[in-house]
Amino acid sequence: MTQYFVAMGIRVACIGLCLFVPWPWVLLPLFGAIVLPYIAVVLANMGSQDSGDEVLRPGSIVRSQDETGPKK
């Protein structure tokens, strides 16, 4: 998540630079402001994938066993 916030901070800086940079050079920060969100989302999603296939149930959740059976 920190990488995403850093990337978005750089994006805001790129947008700010677009206001002060002369015409031919404005394309560089404009490109950064457009492409950087896509790269940030892809990198954030890559980091959040789990390596295991097994789904673990939290230990505090326990199914209750009713001796009378299901209620109708």
The residue extents of the domains of the chain are: 2-47
pLDDT by residue, tens only, the chain of 72 residues: 788 888 889 999 999 999 999 999 999 999 999 999 898 888 878 876 656 666 666 666 666 676 665 665
CA atoms within 13 A on the CB side of 69: 1
Nearest 5 degrees, angle CA 35-CA 39-CA 40?
115
Strands (E) in the chain, as ranges, are none
The length of the chain, given as a count of residues? 72
Sequence-ordered list of residues with C-beta below 8 angstroms from that of 39, at least 6 positions apart, any chain: 7
pTM comes to 0.58
